[in-house]
Structures are given as C-alpha cells and as structure tokens.
A and B are shown apart, each in its own frame.
Chain A
Amino acid sequence: MSQEIRLTYREALKSAIREALLKDEKVFLMGEDVGHYGGAFAVSKGLLQEFGPDRIMDVPLSESGFTGAGIGAALAGMRPIVEIMTINFSLLAMDQIFNNAATLSHMSGGQVNVPVVIRMGCGIGRQLAAQHSHSWEPFFAHVPGLIVLSVGTHEDARGMLLSALESPDPVILFEYTSMLNLEGSIPGDAGKVDIQKAKIRREGKDLSLITYGTGVYKCLEAADLLAKEGMDVEVVDLRVLRPLEEDTFLQSVAKTHRALIVEDAWKSVSISSEVSSRIMEKAFFELDLPVERLCGVEVPIPYPKHLEDASVPQVQDIVSRVKKMLKP
C-alpha cells in the first residue's frame, strides 16, 4: 500500500486531467475559460502554459457548438474532454448530448461510437440563487446511451476522469463545486477507478443511506454522529447514475432492511425515485420499513443562506430522519 496523500478535491481533478493529457496525445480539453482564465473554478489552472492552446482550448460562449464539436472530434478519433462551465448552462448543449452523443451508436447500428467526456461543475450551497444552483443529474441519468458519473469523493475526483477516458461511449461527469477546496486523503498511487459499480463507503448493519455527489460526505458525517449514539448505518455511494448498478444497494438493503435515500435534486422524478422503485421491485420482502427519501425541496433554490440550506438535506436532517426511522 502506498502512502496516503492529502489533497483538495480540485487538486485531485486537476491531476487527473494533467495525467490524461500527458498519457494520450489524442486527449484535449475544451471549454469556456479553461485556458487563459485558468478555469472558472481554477481546475485547469496552469495547464494552458504547460500544454499549449491546441490541447487546452478556450472556446466562445457556444455551448451547443463546442459540445457538438467535441462529439464530432470524438467521432473522428480524438479523445476530447469537454468542460461545460456548470450544469446550469448544460441545457444549451442538451440537443447535442441527447440527440447526438447518446443516439449515434445505436441509431447507426453500432457503426460509430462517441468517446467524449463531458465534465460539468454542479451542486448548490454557494448562494448563487435559482439559475445557478441546479441539480439536474436526473435529466442526464434518464437517457440511454450516456454513462453518467457523479464524483462524490476524492478517490473518484482522482480516478473517474481517467477511467471515463477509456470508455468507448459518452461519459457525463458531475463535479461538485462546493467541494473543490475540501481536503481529503487518497493513496499516493491512486488512479483509475471502477466506473460500473456503486460503492459502500461505510459498512453498517442498521440502515442503508443511499446517496451520491455531495450527499456522500454528508451521509458519512451523519453516520459518525449516529455511531456515537449507537446506531450503525451503512453508506452507499451510487457513483454511476447510468447505467444504474443496483446489486450493491439491493444487497445493502438485504443486510440492513431499512433504506433512506438522500439527494439534492428535486424529489419528483429523481434518482431516488428510481432507486426506491428498484428496491420495491426487487427487495420488497427484505424491508422492515418503507423506503424513505430526503431530497431537494421543490422550489427554485433561493438566494438567502438560511433558505438555501433549508432547500436541500443537511447533515442534521439526515441524523434526525435516521433516528426517527430506527426508533419509531
């Protein structure tokens, strides 16, 4: 086992991009402000100086145009990493992602494939108000043909991009801007990770907390607090939102017999709706309690801190809900 290193989520993301650029000539990064500005969130800072403008391409404000260009370049044998500054602007590229990236392989009878990676910053919690606080992971997870990954930990920040770049199919990578400065530990030789399965981030026997994205560290923190009060909860990080891998969470539920699903996205027609259905369909008789969900409140996310906080599940909300479920 190599030594643990400490680094921020941002550093982990950046080191992956850098490694990918070093390893494969076909890889290039394109996005708004990725070069001269240094990346809207400083993830690509310094890469323009190191790799030059052909590999780190600043693009105009043309989300549909440059995302489509990334898809086209992938069709023609390149390995583009497209950065959409944040998920909030991704709707302008949705036509390209849904109608081209996701369809071309199937619609052409398998003649072409689209090895593009599309990264975007997402998440809420920075008081950016309704238009800049979207949790649209469910939109993307709805679409066959895409591989949809949620980067909820430092390990995945370091590894998911590298693995995504080996996929022959389009990968959507959600990175969470509120976690960029967060420090964490990973093995010094950490690298590629599995991108097909969910992962148990903490073992427990009393209840399964099933989550993704920023929910992972929140649930782990809640689990620590609950442990102090003698409750032993398991934390399942879904990671792969499409194709959704269900064995991991079904097995977890079979072990704990109780499930609480946690996400920032609005509750209706969400990832948790899907997970809950699968549990009903495939693990109904394992359950001691109905599945419960803690999700985003169904409002445009407001600006004031207290209202913003009230709009998505917080650690304390998770703790209280678990207590209620375990001690009725």
Chain B
Amino acid sequence: MRLNKSNPAPSLTKAEGLRLLHQMTLIRRFEEKSAEVYTETKIRGFLHLCVGEEAVAVGVSQALQEEDYVLSTYREHGHALARGVEPKSIMAEMYGRLEGCSRGRGGSMHLFDSSKNFFGGNAIVGGHLPLSVGMALASKKQGKKNVTCCFFGEGAAAEGEFHESLNLAALWQIPVLFLCENNLYAMGTALKFTHSEQHLEKKGPAYGIETDVANGMDLLDVMTKVQKAVAYIRETGKPYFLVCYTYRFRAHSMFDAELYREKSEVEEWKKKDPIPQFKAFLLKEKLITEKVIEAMEAEAERQVQEAIDFAENGSWEKVEELDRFVYSEKAAI
C-alpha cells in the first residue's frame, strides 16, 4: 500500500468535528443493529455491512453538495446515511416496508432517495459505473455544475464496465468522481488474486484521469483528498479517480463464513478503526469532551432505535400494487 502521509489536517470547528463523529457513529450503530435484527429474521435477503469503512462514506459525503448525484453499490447504507437519507426510511426499506425509501421494493441493496439525489444501491458489480458516466454527461450537456460521485469496490475495477466507464469519462471530459473503496477483498477473493496491477491508482492515469489515493481509515485524510478531488472536478469539469484504502471488519454478507482471511489480520486492521482514531484526534485538539461524546452516542443510539421502531410499525405494500411503477405513472404515452 502506498499511502501519502496525511496532508495538514483540515481545520475543524467543534460543531463540524461533532457532526462528523456523529455520522460515523450513527453508521456504525446502524450497521450493528441491522446485523442484530437480521439474525432475528426481520431483515432478509443479502445484507452487506460497511463496518470499518465509515470514514470513506462520511469523508466523501461532506465534500458533496445537495445538487450532486451519488450512486453506489449494495454496500451502501453508510453512503446513504452520510448523504442524509433518513435512518428511518432506510431501516423500513430493509424491513421491506412501504415506508421504506424505495417503498420496500429494493431492500438493503437498493436504497433510492431522489430527494437527496441518491440514485441507488446497484447490486450488479460495476453496473452503475456507466450510469454515473451518463449522469455526468447529462450535467455537462445541461451546463450544470454538479458532480456525480460513484462509489464502488476494488472488485468492480476488474469488470469491463469499469474500464469502459473510465475511458468514456476521460474521452468526454465529464464531472464524475470514481470513488473506489478498496477493502482488499471481493467477497472472499483477495486483491492479489484478482488484479494483475494491485496499485489500482495506476489505472486512472492510463486513461488520462487525475488520480489520488487516500487512507480510508483516516477521516481527515479522506476529507482532504476528496475536497481536492471535488474542487478539481468543479474547476475543470473533468473526471477524477480516488482510491481509498480501507477494510471491512465484518463478513462480506451475512452468509459469509470468512474462510479466506485470518482473524489476526482483521484484528490488526481494527487497530486502525477510524472512529476511535477520530475521537482521539478531537479530544487531543480539545474539539470535544467525553461528555459531549457520551451525549452524541446516546443520540445515535436513539436514532437507530427510532429507525427500528419506525420499521417495525411500518406497513406492507398492497399486493394489488405489485405491478405499479413497472412503467411510469407520469403522463401516459
């Protein structure tokens, strides 16, 4: 791993520090709770958690504006939460309730919230990269100044759609941020078994795309690198490739027995847990007190419980509505 040492940390106010820590904590609690209710069979299907990767979701999202577009993978709860999608509507979605952000139609892997410009949760690895290219192309054609941010894993970088998308984005010079969360495993297959060139950041320049790496376990480094990336995109209208080195502490999904990695490796990475790290930073810089942290943690806990209660009390979409939205309800043709 070639990581640049963190640039001088962005200067934070107390309020910002608290907000960021709160977001990461909320994601962590939300994910842990999701796993818990999954074992109670309240959530079904695939469930992919991002525990360990919170700094990327939060670090990236704080650099984005409301009008920017965000697209993601099936491991997107953190991205959605950081984007401001309501915890309640995400949990209800995972419960399959009508009150969910996608009416319960999509579940964990397909969170959509067009009011937040959050365009899914895509469960075909690499499938949303071309979409992000098209959305950024539309922005360029419409003279909009917004950025399209597309999250994906290093596994997706082996797909043809990754290469097609980088080529098209560079060819068309469009404002898209390709945000690779390199957590070193695609399901159970390690990076070293899947990429001939494991420094994924070398693939950007091959397409003439401005590229950088960030330490995805370090919120401040992610923030610094993403701010730089987004500033570049807004300034030039060109694409950018940012590889965040990160690690998922939990299994790929709830069906994964984790036969492919040693417990000791996971423990090593847990020492780099972004949340305690950032907490320590805030304490050291006197930007936060233990008391404030305690209150914030209680608040995160309350939000998650509220989400659960909301989901528990949600309703089921009527079976008669099964085929609604197969075709749009906008003006008949």
CB-based contact A108/B165 at 8 Å: no
Contacts of B4 on A, CB cut-off 8 Å? Answer: none
Q: Which of A77-123 contact B (CB under 8 A)?
A: 77-78, 80, 95-96, 99-100, 104-113
Given the known interface contacts A60-B171, A105-B327, A108-B102, the answer about A65 and B164 at a Cβ–Cβ threshold of 8 Å is yes
CB-based contact A59/B168 at 8 Å: yes
Question: Which single residue of chain B is at the shortest CB-CB distance from A113?
Answer: B328
Q: Which of B54-103 contact A (CB under 8 A)?
A: 69, 100-103
Query: In the complex, A229 Cα to B58 Cα: how many Å?
Result: 78
CB-based contact A78/B138 at 8 Å: yes
Among the 9-residue stretches A161-169, A211-219, A293-301, the one with 4 or more Cβ atoms under 8 Å from chain B is A161-169
CB-based contact A105/B328 at 8 Å: yes
Partner of B127, one of A100, A105, A112, A113: A100
Name the interface size band of chain B. 35 or more
The answer, yes or no, to whether B301 is at the interface (CB within 8 Å) is no
Query: In the complex, A70 Cα to B331 Cα: how many Å?
Result: 22
Question: Which single residue of chain A is at the shortest CB-CB distance from B159?
Answer: A64
Partner of A112, one of B114, B132, B160: B114
Partner of B138, one of A76, A167, A168: A76
The answer, yes or no, to whether A69 is at the interface (CB within 8 Å) is yes
Given the known interface contacts A169-B328, A195-B333, the answer about A109 and B103 at a Cβ–Cβ threshold of 8 Å is yes
Contacts of B128 on A, CB cut-off 8 Å? Answer: 100
Residue in B100, B141, B168, B324 whose Cβ sees the most chain A Cβ within 10 Å: B141
CB-based contact B160/A64 at 8 Å: yes
Contacts of A104 on B, CB cut-off 8 Å? Answer: 120
The answer, yes or no, to whether B53 is at the interface (CB within 8 Å) is no
Partner of B113, one of A80, A95, A99, A111: A111
Question: Which single residue of chain A is at the shortest CB-CB distance from B174?
Answer: A69
Among the 9-residue stretches B104-112, B187-195, B266-274, the one with 4 or more Cβ atoms under 8 Å from chain A is B104-112
Residue in A73, A168, A169, A195 whose Cβ sees the most chain B Cβ within 10 Å: A73
Given the known interface contacts A104-B120, A112-B119, the answer about A64 and B130 at a Cβ–Cβ threshold of 8 Å is yes
CB-based contact B328/A72 at 8 Å: no
Given the known interface contacts A60-B168, A62-B164, A65-B164, the answer about A108 and B327 at a Cβ–Cβ threshold of 8 Å is no
* Contact digits for B144-171, partner A, Cβ 8 Å, 1 yes 0 no: 0000000000000000110011011001
The answer, yes or no, to whether B180 is at the interface (CB within 8 Å) is no
* Contact digits for B296-333, partner A, Cβ 8 Å, 1 yes 0 no: 00000000000000000000000000011111111101
CB-based contact A108/B110 at 8 Å: yes
Shortest A201–chain B CB gap in Å is 21
Contacts of B325 on A, CB cut-off 8 Å? Answer: 105-106, 108-110
Given the known interface contacts A65-B168, A69-B168, A104-B120, the answer about A111 and B130 at a Cβ–Cβ threshold of 8 Å is no
Contacts of A147 on B, CB cut-off 8 Å? Answer: 327
CB-based contact A107/B105 at 8 Å: yes
Question: Which single residue of chain A is at the shortest CB-CB distance from B93?
Answer: A109
Given the known interface contacts A67-B130, A168-B331, the answer about A109 and B141 at a Cβ–Cβ threshold of 8 Å is no
Contacts of B167 on A, CB cut-off 8 Å? Answer: 60, 62, 65
CB-based contact A73/B112 at 8 Å: no
The answer, yes or no, to whether B209 is at the interface (CB within 8 Å) is no
Shortest A60–chain B CB gap in Å is 6
Given the known interface contacts A109-B325, A169-B328, the answer about A76 and B165 at a Cβ–Cβ threshold of 8 Å is no
Residue in B130, B171, B323 whose Cβ sees the most chain A Cβ within 10 Å: B130
Contacts of B219 on A, CB cut-off 8 Å? Answer: none
Interface residues in chain A, defined as those with a beta carbon under 8 Å from any beta carbon in chain B: 28, 54, 59-60, 62, 64-78, 80, 95-96, 99-100, 104-113, 144-145, 147, 163, 166-169, 195-196, 243
A-B residue pairs in contact (CB < 8 Å), sample of 21: A64-B130, A65-B165, A68-B165, A69-B133, A69-B134, A69-B137, A70-B134, A72-B133, A95-B124, A95-B127, A96-B130, A99-B127, A100-B122, A100-B131, A109-B105, A110-B324, A111-B112, A147-B327, A168-B327, A168-B330, A169-B328
Question: What 9 pairs between A and B have smallest CB-CB spacing?
Answer: A72-B134, A68-B130, A65-B164, A109-B103, A76-B138, A69-B134, A108-B112, A110-B325, A72-B131
